[in-house]
A and B are shown apart, each in its own frame.
Chain A
Amino acid sequence: MKPKQLQDALNDVKEEYIADAHKEESETNSAKAAGNLPFALTGSERKGLKKIFRRPSFRIALVACLLLVLGGGAIFATVTHGRTHDKPTPSKPGSVHIPPAEMPKLSATADMLGLICHNGKVYTEAQIFSSDVKEDIWGLVGTYLGETNCEIHEWTARQNENWITELASNVAGTVYTVNGYDDDFRICTAGEWYPEEGGVRYFVFFYECLNGITLNQGSDLIHHKLRIMDRLPDTVEKETKTLLDALYKAPFIVIKPDPESGYYYYGDKSKDFRYIENNNAYLEIPLTDGTSNGFIVYKNGYVKYNCFDLRDCYMVVDPALVEYLFQ
Protein backbone atom coordinates (compact mmCIF):
# COMPACT_ATOMS: atom_id res chain seq x y z
CA MET A 1 0.00 0.00 0.00
CA LYS A 2 1.26 3.49 -0.84
CA PRO A 3 0.63 6.64 1.18
CA LYS A 4 -1.15 7.94 -1.90
CA GLN A 5 -3.77 5.24 -1.44
CA LEU A 6 -4.24 6.31 2.16
CA GLN A 7 -4.59 9.87 0.93
CA ASP A 8 -7.21 8.74 -1.60
CA ALA A 9 -9.10 6.71 0.98
CA LEU A 10 -9.22 9.75 3.22
CA ASN A 11 -11.10 11.61 0.50
CA ASP A 12 -14.29 9.71 1.19
CA VAL A 13 -14.39 9.85 4.97
CA LYS A 14 -17.67 10.87 6.51
CA GLU A 15 -18.87 14.18 5.17
CA GLU A 16 -19.89 15.40 8.60
CA TYR A 17 -16.28 15.07 9.76
CA ILE A 18 -15.02 16.99 6.74
CA ALA A 19 -17.48 19.80 7.31
CA ASP A 20 -16.79 19.81 11.02
CA ALA A 21 -13.03 20.20 10.65
CA HIS A 22 -13.43 23.42 8.66
CA LYS A 23 -16.76 24.36 10.02
CA GLU A 24 -16.61 28.11 9.46
CA GLU A 25 -15.83 27.66 5.77
CA SER A 26 -18.26 24.89 5.00
CA GLU A 27 -21.09 26.95 6.38
CA THR A 28 -22.66 29.83 4.57
CA ASN A 29 -21.83 33.40 5.46
CA SER A 30 -25.31 33.95 6.77
CA ALA A 31 -24.83 31.19 9.31
CA LYS A 32 -21.85 32.99 10.73
CA ALA A 33 -22.94 35.75 13.02
CA ALA A 34 -20.77 38.08 14.92
CA GLY A 35 -19.89 37.45 18.50
CA ASN A 36 -18.54 33.94 18.44
CA LEU A 37 -15.83 33.40 20.99
CA PRO A 38 -13.67 30.61 19.63
CA PHE A 39 -11.26 30.27 22.50
CA ALA A 40 -10.63 27.39 24.83
CA LEU A 41 -10.24 27.52 28.57
CA THR A 42 -6.72 27.61 29.91
CA GLY A 43 -5.87 25.72 33.07
CA SER A 44 -5.96 28.86 35.19
CA GLU A 45 -9.30 29.86 33.72
CA ARG A 46 -10.71 26.46 34.60
CA LYS A 47 -9.43 26.87 38.15
CA GLY A 48 -11.04 30.29 38.28
CA LEU A 49 -14.33 28.88 37.12
CA LYS A 50 -14.18 26.16 39.74
CA LYS A 51 -13.77 28.89 42.36
CA ILE A 52 -16.86 30.61 41.01
CA PHE A 53 -18.79 27.35 41.17
CA ARG A 54 -17.79 26.99 44.79
CA ARG A 55 -19.06 30.41 45.79
CA PRO A 56 -22.13 29.90 48.01
CA SER A 57 -24.08 32.64 46.21
CA PHE A 58 -23.45 31.06 42.83
CA ARG A 59 -24.30 27.60 44.07
CA ILE A 60 -27.53 28.80 45.62
CA ALA A 61 -28.51 30.53 42.37
CA LEU A 62 -27.57 27.48 40.36
CA VAL A 63 -29.46 25.06 42.56
CA ALA A 64 -32.47 27.38 42.52
CA CYS A 65 -32.41 27.40 38.74
CA LEU A 66 -32.05 23.64 38.56
CA LEU A 67 -34.92 23.07 40.96
CA LEU A 68 -37.14 25.40 39.01
CA VAL A 69 -36.25 23.77 35.76
CA LEU A 70 -36.55 20.22 37.02
CA GLY A 71 -39.77 21.01 38.82
CA GLY A 72 -41.75 22.56 36.08
CA GLY A 73 -39.63 23.05 33.03
CA ALA A 74 -40.12 26.74 33.40
CA ILE A 75 -37.86 29.48 34.61
CA PHE A 76 -38.82 32.95 35.74
CA ALA A 77 -41.97 34.54 34.59
CA THR A 78 -43.91 36.32 32.01
CA VAL A 79 -43.16 35.64 28.38
CA THR A 80 -45.84 33.59 26.77
CA HIS A 81 -44.67 30.04 26.39
CA GLY A 82 -46.20 29.41 23.04
CA ARG A 83 -45.62 32.79 21.54
CA THR A 84 -41.93 33.47 21.59
CA HIS A 85 -42.01 33.22 17.84
CA ASP A 86 -44.32 32.79 14.91
CA LYS A 87 -45.78 29.39 14.26
CA PRO A 88 -44.05 26.86 12.05
CA THR A 89 -45.44 26.67 8.56
CA PRO A 90 -45.25 23.99 5.91
CA SER A 91 -42.89 25.37 3.24
CA LYS A 92 -43.70 22.60 0.79
CA PRO A 93 -45.43 19.24 1.14
CA GLY A 94 -43.63 17.19 3.78
CA SER A 95 -41.29 19.93 4.95
CA VAL A 96 -41.63 22.53 7.64
CA HIS A 97 -40.10 25.94 8.18
CA ILE A 98 -39.63 27.09 11.76
CA PRO A 99 -39.23 30.88 11.84
CA PRO A 100 -36.48 32.51 13.91
CA ALA A 101 -37.36 33.10 17.54
CA GLU A 102 -38.75 36.45 18.56
CA MET A 103 -39.66 37.99 21.85
CA PRO A 104 -43.31 39.02 21.98
CA LYS A 105 -44.01 42.70 21.61
CA LEU A 106 -46.89 42.70 24.05
CA SER A 107 -46.80 41.93 27.71
CA ALA A 108 -47.52 38.32 28.44
CA THR A 109 -48.52 36.23 31.32
CA ALA A 110 -47.27 32.69 31.27
CA ASP A 111 -43.95 31.05 32.03
CA MET A 112 -40.72 31.82 30.31
CA LEU A 113 -38.42 29.08 29.18
CA GLY A 114 -34.74 29.15 29.90
CA LEU A 115 -33.03 30.57 26.86
CA ILE A 116 -29.58 31.60 25.71
CA CYS A 117 -28.66 33.66 22.65
CA HIS A 118 -25.62 32.62 20.67
CA ASN A 119 -24.44 33.57 17.20
CA GLY A 120 -27.62 35.54 16.62
CA LYS A 121 -29.86 32.57 17.43
CA VAL A 122 -32.06 31.71 20.38
CA TYR A 123 -31.55 28.35 22.11
CA THR A 124 -34.18 27.07 24.50
CA GLU A 125 -33.75 24.66 27.38
CA ALA A 126 -33.75 20.97 26.59
CA GLN A 127 -32.44 17.91 28.42
CA ILE A 128 -30.35 17.90 31.54
CA PHE A 129 -27.99 15.10 32.49
CA SER A 130 -26.23 14.72 35.80
CA SER A 131 -23.83 12.23 37.29
CA ASP A 132 -21.52 11.60 40.21
CA VAL A 133 -18.84 10.79 37.70
CA LYS A 134 -17.20 13.93 36.42
CA GLU A 135 -15.91 12.34 33.20
CA ASP A 136 -19.42 11.25 32.19
CA ILE A 137 -20.49 14.86 32.08
CA TRP A 138 -17.35 16.71 31.07
CA GLY A 139 -16.85 14.32 28.19
CA LEU A 140 -19.86 16.00 26.61
CA VAL A 141 -18.68 19.53 27.28
CA GLY A 142 -16.83 21.16 24.42
CA THR A 143 -15.34 24.59 23.86
CA TYR A 144 -15.90 27.37 26.37
CA LEU A 145 -18.11 30.10 24.89
CA GLY A 146 -18.54 32.44 27.82
CA GLU A 147 -20.81 33.42 30.70
CA THR A 148 -24.46 34.30 30.24
CA ASN A 149 -25.43 37.86 31.05
CA CYS A 150 -28.75 37.05 32.77
CA GLU A 151 -30.30 40.23 31.39
CA ILE A 152 -33.30 38.87 29.53
CA HIS A 153 -36.63 39.42 31.22
CA GLU A 154 -40.18 40.22 30.28
CA TRP A 155 -39.37 43.82 29.37
CA THR A 156 -36.32 43.06 27.27
CA ALA A 157 -38.03 43.28 23.91
CA ARG A 158 -39.69 46.57 24.84
CA GLN A 159 -36.50 48.14 26.02
CA ASN A 160 -34.34 46.98 23.17
CA GLU A 161 -35.44 45.52 19.87
CA ASN A 162 -31.98 44.09 19.33
CA TRP A 163 -32.18 41.91 22.39
CA ILE A 164 -30.47 38.91 20.77
CA THR A 165 -26.92 39.71 21.82
CA GLU A 166 -24.20 37.16 22.38
CA LEU A 167 -24.93 35.04 25.46
CA ALA A 168 -27.90 37.16 26.50
CA SER A 169 -29.98 34.85 28.66
CA ASN A 170 -32.46 34.52 31.47
CA VAL A 171 -30.39 31.85 33.21
CA ALA A 172 -27.04 32.00 34.94
CA GLY A 173 -24.33 29.76 33.69
CA THR A 174 -21.12 29.06 31.83
CA VAL A 175 -21.82 28.20 28.23
CA TYR A 176 -19.99 25.63 26.14
CA THR A 177 -20.40 23.82 22.87
CA VAL A 178 -21.40 20.15 23.13
CA ASN A 179 -18.89 17.59 21.92
CA GLY A 180 -20.10 15.78 18.86
CA TYR A 181 -22.94 18.17 18.06
CA ASP A 182 -23.20 21.16 15.81
CA ASP A 183 -23.26 24.28 17.97
CA ASP A 184 -25.77 25.79 15.56
CA PHE A 185 -28.12 23.25 17.09
CA ARG A 186 -26.99 22.50 20.63
CA ILE A 187 -24.97 24.30 23.28
CA CYS A 188 -24.88 23.68 27.01
CA THR A 189 -24.22 25.03 30.42
CA ALA A 190 -22.30 22.78 32.74
CA GLY A 191 -20.96 22.72 36.24
CA GLU A 192 -21.25 21.01 39.57
CA TRP A 193 -23.39 21.32 42.63
CA TYR A 194 -23.29 20.02 46.15
CA PRO A 195 -26.37 18.07 47.23
CA GLU A 196 -27.49 18.27 50.86
CA GLU A 197 -26.74 14.60 51.34
CA GLY A 198 -23.09 15.35 50.61
CA GLY A 199 -20.72 14.73 47.78
CA VAL A 200 -20.73 16.51 44.47
CA ARG A 201 -22.76 16.04 41.32
CA TYR A 202 -21.92 17.24 37.86
CA PHE A 203 -24.47 18.42 35.35
CA VAL A 204 -24.76 19.40 31.74
CA PHE A 205 -27.84 21.29 30.61
CA PHE A 206 -28.52 21.33 26.91
CA TYR A 207 -30.00 24.30 25.06
CA GLU A 208 -31.24 23.63 21.56
CA CYS A 209 -32.02 25.80 18.57
CA LEU A 210 -34.38 24.39 16.00
CA ASN A 211 -35.79 27.71 14.88
CA GLY A 212 -34.86 29.68 11.79
CA ILE A 213 -34.48 26.43 9.87
CA THR A 214 -36.32 24.26 7.39
CA LEU A 215 -36.71 20.55 7.97
CA ASN A 216 -37.44 18.67 4.77
CA GLN A 217 -37.69 15.18 6.17
CA GLY A 218 -36.99 13.24 9.34
CA SER A 219 -33.30 12.77 8.57
CA ASP A 220 -32.78 16.53 8.87
CA LEU A 221 -33.67 16.18 12.53
CA ILE A 222 -32.84 12.57 13.40
CA HIS A 223 -29.50 12.46 11.65
CA HIS A 224 -28.20 15.94 10.97
CA LYS A 225 -29.18 17.48 14.29
CA LEU A 226 -29.59 14.72 16.86
CA ARG A 227 -26.93 12.41 15.37
CA ILE A 228 -28.99 9.42 16.45
CA MET A 229 -28.07 7.10 13.62
CA ASP A 230 -24.33 7.43 14.35
CA ARG A 231 -24.69 6.76 18.04
CA LEU A 232 -27.32 4.08 18.30
CA PRO A 233 -26.24 1.40 20.75
CA ASP A 234 -26.26 -2.23 19.61
CA THR A 235 -28.80 -2.98 22.32
CA VAL A 236 -31.54 -0.89 20.77
CA GLU A 237 -34.72 -2.86 20.09
CA LYS A 238 -35.25 -4.09 16.57
CA GLU A 239 -38.66 -2.39 16.43
CA THR A 240 -37.15 0.92 17.52
CA LYS A 241 -34.49 0.62 14.86
CA THR A 242 -37.20 -0.02 12.25
CA LEU A 243 -39.14 2.99 13.50
CA LEU A 244 -36.04 5.18 13.29
CA ASP A 245 -35.40 4.02 9.75
CA ALA A 246 -38.93 5.09 8.87
CA LEU A 247 -38.54 8.40 10.71
CA TYR A 248 -35.40 9.05 8.70
CA LYS A 249 -37.51 9.41 5.57
CA ALA A 250 -40.66 10.69 7.24
CA PRO A 251 -42.35 13.90 6.09
CA PHE A 252 -43.23 16.62 8.57
CA ILE A 253 -46.63 18.09 9.17
CA VAL A 254 -47.60 21.09 11.25
CA ILE A 255 -50.66 21.18 13.44
CA LYS A 256 -51.20 24.78 14.35
CA PRO A 257 -52.80 25.62 17.65
CA ASP A 258 -56.28 27.00 17.79
CA PRO A 259 -55.85 30.79 17.39
CA GLU A 260 -58.50 31.45 20.01
CA SER A 261 -57.43 29.01 22.64
CA GLY A 262 -53.64 29.22 22.18
CA TYR A 263 -50.89 26.73 22.44
CA TYR A 264 -52.29 24.41 25.06
CA TYR A 265 -55.56 23.70 23.36
CA TYR A 266 -56.43 22.79 19.82
CA GLY A 267 -59.96 22.83 18.43
CA ASP A 268 -62.36 20.30 19.85
CA LYS A 269 -60.30 18.83 22.64
CA SER A 270 -62.39 15.67 22.82
CA LYS A 271 -61.52 14.85 19.19
CA ASP A 272 -57.92 15.99 19.18
CA PHE A 273 -55.65 12.95 19.02
CA ARG A 274 -53.22 14.59 21.40
CA TYR A 275 -55.72 14.61 24.21
CA ILE A 276 -57.13 11.11 23.88
CA GLU A 277 -56.25 9.06 26.91
CA ASN A 278 -53.55 6.41 26.45
CA ASN A 279 -53.05 7.60 22.90
CA ASN A 280 -49.38 8.37 23.20
CA ALA A 281 -46.18 6.85 24.45
CA TYR A 282 -42.86 8.38 25.39
CA LEU A 283 -39.96 6.89 23.50
CA GLU A 284 -36.54 7.59 24.93
CA ILE A 285 -33.57 6.65 22.82
CA PRO A 286 -30.29 6.40 24.71
CA LEU A 287 -27.16 7.01 22.68
CA THR A 288 -23.64 5.73 23.00
CA ASP A 289 -22.32 9.16 24.01
CA GLY A 290 -24.36 9.03 27.22
CA THR A 291 -27.11 11.37 26.08
CA SER A 292 -30.64 10.43 25.10
CA ASN A 293 -33.47 11.89 23.07
CA GLY A 294 -37.16 11.80 23.83
CA PHE A 295 -40.02 11.48 21.37
CA ILE A 296 -43.74 11.56 21.90
CA VAL A 297 -45.29 8.87 19.74
CA TYR A 298 -48.99 8.79 18.95
CA LYS A 299 -50.95 5.74 17.92
CA ASN A 300 -51.80 7.33 14.57
CA GLY A 301 -48.12 7.30 13.64
CA TYR A 302 -47.41 10.94 14.47
CA VAL A 303 -44.07 11.39 16.20
CA LYS A 304 -42.89 14.57 17.84
CA TYR A 305 -39.39 15.39 19.08
CA ASN A 306 -39.80 16.59 22.61
CA CYS A 307 -38.56 20.15 22.36
CA PHE A 308 -39.90 23.66 22.39
CA ASP A 309 -39.25 24.76 18.82
CA LEU A 310 -40.93 21.70 17.26
CA ARG A 311 -43.90 21.60 19.58
CA ASP A 312 -46.35 21.86 16.68
CA CYS A 313 -44.39 19.70 14.23
CA TYR A 314 -44.86 16.00 13.72
CA MET A 315 -43.12 13.38 11.63
CA VAL A 316 -45.54 10.91 10.12
CA VAL A 317 -44.92 7.17 9.83
CA ASP A 318 -47.01 4.08 9.26
CA PRO A 319 -49.07 3.52 12.46
CA ALA A 320 -48.17 -0.17 12.33
CA LEU A 321 -44.57 0.77 13.14
CA VAL A 322 -45.48 2.30 16.49
CA GLU A 323 -47.87 -0.40 17.67
CA TYR A 324 -45.16 -2.16 19.66
CA LEU A 325 -44.96 0.82 22.00
CA PHE A 326 -48.56 0.32 23.07
CA GLN A 327 -48.55 -3.43 23.65
Chain B
Amino acid sequence: MEDTEIIALYWARDERAVSETAEKYGRYCHSVAYRILQNKEDSEECVNDTYTGAWNTIPPHRPELFSAFLAKITRRISLNRLRNKTAERRGSGQYTVTLEELTECIPSSLSAEDTLETHELTRIINKFLDGLPTDERRVFLCRYWYLDPIKDIAKRFSFGESKVKMMLKRTREKLLIHLEKEGITL
Protein backbone atom coordinates (compact mmCIF):
# COMPACT_ATOMS: atom_id res chain seq x y z
CA MET B 1 0.00 0.00 0.00
CA GLU B 2 1.26 3.48 -0.84
CA ASP B 3 2.21 5.73 2.06
CA THR B 4 -0.43 8.24 1.10
CA GLU B 5 -3.08 5.54 1.30
CA ILE B 6 -1.91 4.50 4.76
CA ILE B 7 -1.96 8.13 5.88
CA ALA B 8 -5.46 8.46 4.45
CA LEU B 9 -6.49 5.52 6.69
CA TYR B 10 -5.15 7.39 9.72
CA TRP B 11 -7.13 10.45 8.70
CA ALA B 12 -10.22 8.32 8.29
CA ARG B 13 -9.57 6.89 11.78
CA ASP B 14 -9.51 3.44 10.23
CA GLU B 15 -7.61 0.96 12.42
CA ARG B 16 -6.23 -0.80 9.38
CA ALA B 17 -3.79 2.12 9.31
CA VAL B 18 -1.86 0.51 12.16
CA SER B 19 -1.69 -2.96 10.64
CA GLU B 20 -0.64 -1.53 7.27
CA THR B 21 2.02 0.56 8.99
CA ALA B 22 3.26 -2.46 10.91
CA GLU B 23 3.42 -4.54 7.78
CA LYS B 24 5.29 -1.96 5.77
CA TYR B 25 7.53 -0.29 8.34
CA GLY B 26 7.50 -2.57 11.39
CA ARG B 27 10.93 -3.99 10.69
CA TYR B 28 12.42 -0.59 9.99
CA CYS B 29 11.07 0.88 13.22
CA HIS B 30 12.22 -2.17 15.12
CA SER B 31 15.75 -1.78 13.79
CA VAL B 32 15.77 1.89 14.84
CA ALA B 33 14.62 0.96 18.34
CA TYR B 34 16.91 -2.04 18.66
CA ARG B 35 20.03 -0.05 17.85
CA ILE B 36 19.23 2.19 20.77
CA LEU B 37 17.90 -0.32 23.26
CA GLN B 38 19.73 -3.52 22.33
CA ASN B 39 16.78 -5.43 23.66
CA LYS B 40 14.14 -7.22 21.61
CA GLU B 41 11.21 -6.90 24.02
CA ASP B 42 11.86 -3.25 24.78
CA SER B 43 12.20 -2.55 21.07
CA GLU B 44 8.89 -4.24 20.31
CA GLU B 45 7.16 -2.16 22.94
CA CYS B 46 8.66 1.00 21.52
CA VAL B 47 7.50 0.06 18.05
CA ASN B 48 3.98 -0.51 19.37
CA ASP B 49 4.16 2.87 21.08
CA THR B 50 5.25 4.30 17.74
CA TYR B 51 1.98 3.18 16.16
CA THR B 52 0.07 4.81 19.00
CA GLY B 53 2.15 7.95 18.49
CA ALA B 54 1.36 7.95 14.79
CA TRP B 55 -2.35 7.39 15.53
CA ASN B 56 -2.36 10.33 17.93
CA THR B 57 -0.55 12.74 15.61
CA ILE B 58 -2.19 11.90 12.27
CA PRO B 59 -4.36 13.93 11.97
CA PRO B 60 -3.62 16.78 12.22
CA HIS B 61 -0.19 15.92 10.88
CA ARG B 62 0.20 14.76 7.29
CA PRO B 63 3.76 13.44 7.02
CA GLU B 64 5.56 13.97 3.77
CA LEU B 65 8.05 11.18 4.30
CA PHE B 66 6.16 8.58 6.27
CA SER B 67 9.06 6.22 6.97
CA ALA B 68 11.22 8.94 8.50
CA PHE B 69 8.24 10.34 10.38
CA LEU B 70 7.73 6.96 12.05
CA ALA B 71 11.45 6.54 12.67
CA LYS B 72 11.53 9.89 14.49
CA ILE B 73 8.75 8.78 16.81
CA THR B 74 10.47 5.44 17.41
CA ARG B 75 13.79 7.10 18.13
CA ARG B 76 12.29 9.58 20.57
CA ILE B 77 10.39 6.89 22.47
CA SER B 78 13.40 4.57 22.50
CA LEU B 79 15.76 7.26 23.76
CA ASN B 80 13.35 8.16 26.56
CA ARG B 81 13.05 4.53 27.52
CA LEU B 82 16.80 4.11 27.46
CA ARG B 83 17.30 7.21 29.58
CA ASN B 84 14.94 5.83 32.17
CA LYS B 85 16.81 2.57 32.15
CA THR B 86 20.30 4.05 32.17
CA ALA B 87 19.35 6.24 35.11
CA GLU B 88 19.61 2.94 36.91
CA ARG B 89 22.37 1.33 34.86
CA ARG B 90 24.65 3.75 33.08
CA GLY B 91 27.39 3.23 30.57
CA SER B 92 25.96 0.70 28.17
CA GLY B 93 25.46 0.63 24.43
CA GLN B 94 26.02 3.05 21.60
CA TYR B 95 23.86 5.73 23.21
CA THR B 96 26.37 6.51 25.93
CA VAL B 97 29.32 6.34 23.55
CA THR B 98 27.75 8.68 21.00
CA LEU B 99 26.68 11.02 23.75
CA GLU B 100 30.29 11.31 24.85
CA GLU B 101 31.39 11.93 21.27
CA LEU B 102 28.82 14.67 20.87
CA THR B 103 30.25 16.46 23.89
CA GLU B 104 33.05 17.54 21.55
CA CYS B 105 30.54 19.56 19.51
CA ILE B 106 29.44 21.75 22.36
CA PRO B 107 31.09 25.16 22.37
CA SER B 108 33.24 25.55 25.46
CA SER B 109 31.57 28.86 26.23
CA LEU B 110 28.40 26.97 27.07
CA SER B 111 28.04 25.39 30.42
CA ALA B 112 26.05 22.26 31.09
CA GLU B 113 23.29 24.34 32.59
CA ASP B 114 22.77 26.47 29.51
CA THR B 115 19.81 25.52 27.44
CA LEU B 116 18.68 26.46 24.01
CA GLU B 117 15.30 25.91 22.49
CA THR B 118 15.52 22.45 20.96
CA HIS B 119 13.73 23.46 17.79
CA GLU B 120 16.18 26.31 17.28
CA LEU B 121 19.04 23.90 17.69
CA THR B 122 17.38 21.56 15.20
CA ARG B 123 17.13 24.40 12.71
CA ILE B 124 20.84 25.10 13.11
CA ILE B 125 21.75 21.43 12.74
CA ASN B 126 19.59 21.14 9.64
CA LYS B 127 21.45 24.08 8.15
CA PHE B 128 24.70 22.35 9.01
CA LEU B 129 23.55 19.10 7.39
CA ASP B 130 22.45 21.00 4.27
CA GLY B 131 26.05 22.04 3.72
CA LEU B 132 27.65 18.64 4.26
CA PRO B 133 28.71 16.39 1.38
CA THR B 134 26.25 13.52 0.99
CA ASP B 135 28.50 10.74 2.28
CA GLU B 136 29.56 12.77 5.27
CA ARG B 137 25.96 13.58 6.13
CA ARG B 138 24.93 9.93 5.82
CA VAL B 139 27.77 8.74 8.01
CA PHE B 140 27.04 11.43 10.60
CA LEU B 141 23.36 10.49 10.78
CA CYS B 142 24.10 6.78 10.87
CA ARG B 143 26.24 7.39 13.91
CA TYR B 144 24.28 10.03 15.79
CA TRP B 145 20.73 9.52 14.60
CA TYR B 146 20.59 5.75 14.19
CA LEU B 147 23.39 5.15 16.72
CA ASP B 148 25.05 2.64 14.41
CA PRO B 149 28.33 1.14 15.61
CA ILE B 150 31.39 2.36 13.65
CA LYS B 151 31.93 -1.13 12.29
CA ASP B 152 28.41 -1.25 10.79
CA ILE B 153 28.82 2.15 9.20
CA ALA B 154 32.12 1.10 7.67
CA LYS B 155 30.45 -1.97 6.21
CA ARG B 156 27.43 -0.03 4.97
CA PHE B 157 29.53 2.45 3.00
CA SER B 158 32.44 0.15 2.14
CA PHE B 159 34.80 2.39 4.09
CA GLY B 160 37.53 1.40 6.50
CA GLU B 161 36.69 1.89 10.17
CA SER B 162 39.52 4.40 10.54
CA LYS B 163 38.08 6.41 7.66
CA VAL B 164 34.67 6.47 9.33
CA LYS B 165 36.23 7.57 12.62
CA MET B 166 38.17 10.30 10.87
CA MET B 167 35.08 11.47 8.95
CA LEU B 168 33.09 11.63 12.16
CA LYS B 169 35.83 13.49 13.96
CA ARG B 170 36.04 16.09 11.19
CA THR B 171 32.27 16.41 11.05
CA ARG B 172 32.10 16.98 14.79
CA GLU B 173 34.78 19.64 14.46
CA LYS B 174 32.81 21.28 11.66
CA LEU B 175 29.67 21.13 13.76
CA LEU B 176 31.45 22.80 16.63
CA ILE B 177 32.57 25.63 14.34
CA HIS B 178 29.07 25.86 12.86
CA LEU B 179 27.43 26.11 16.27
CA GLU B 180 29.86 28.85 17.27
CA LYS B 181 29.25 30.70 14.01
CA GLU B 182 25.53 30.52 14.62
CA GLY B 183 26.12 32.49 17.76
CA ILE B 184 25.59 29.75 20.26
CA THR B 185 27.67 31.59 22.79
CA LEU B 186 26.93 33.53 25.91
Contacts and interface: CB of A to CB of B under 8 A. Distances in A.
B126 A8 contact: no
A216 B67 CA distance: 17
B27 A3 contact: no
A306 to B, nearest CB: 24
Contacts of A8: 79, 118
Contacts of A15: 63-65, 68-69, 72
Interface string A1-40: 1111111111111111111111001111000000000111
B68 A19 contact: yes
A180 interface: yes
Interface string A247-276: 000000000000000000000000000000
A93 to B, nearest CB: 13
Given A2-B112, A179-B134, A14 B118 contact: no
Contacts of A104: none
Interface in B110-143: 110, 112, 114-116, 118-119, 121-122, 125-126, 129-130, 134, 137-138, 141-142
A219 interface: yes
Contacts of B100: 3
Contacts of B146: 21-22
A73 interface: no
Given A3-B102, A25-B28, A13 B79 contact: no
B158 interface: yes
Contact of A5 (B27, B83, B121, B130): B121
A13 B122 contact: yes
Bin chain A's interface residue count: 35 or more
Contact of A17 (B25, B28, B69, B137): B137
Interface in B28-83: 28, 31, 63-65, 67-69, 71-72, 75-76, 79, 83
A1 B110 contact: yes
A142 B134 contact: yes
A223 interface: yes
B115 to A, nearest CB: 6
Bin chain B's interface residue count: 35 or more
Given A3-B99, A3-B102, A219-B64, A17 B79 contact: no
Interface in A139-182: 142, 179-180
Nearest to A26: B67
Contacts of A223: 64
B65 A6 contact: no
B154 interface: no
A4 B86 CA distance: 13
Contacts of A230: 130
Most buried by B among A3, A6, A14, A216: A6
A214 interface: yes
A202 to B, nearest CB: 19
A99 to B, nearest CB: 14
Contact of A13 (B112, B141, B158): B141
A85 interface: no
A224 interface: yes
B136 to A, nearest CB: 11
Contact of A7 (B68, B71, B141, B144): B144
A18 B68 contact: yes
Given A6-B121, A9-B122, A16 B68 contact: yes
A26 B68 contact: yes
Given A6-B105, A13-B125, A230-B130, 8 more contacts: A4-B99, A5-B116, A15-B69, A16-B68, A20-B137, A20-B138, A21-B146, A179-B134
12 contacts: A1-B112, A1-B116, A5-B115, A6-B125, A7-B102, A11-B76, A12-B72, A18-B71, A26-B68, A26-B71, A224-B65, A230-B130
User: Lowest 7 A-B CB distances belong to which pairs?
Assistant: A15-B68, A9-B121, A21-B141, A26-B67, A15-B65, A18-B68, A3-B102
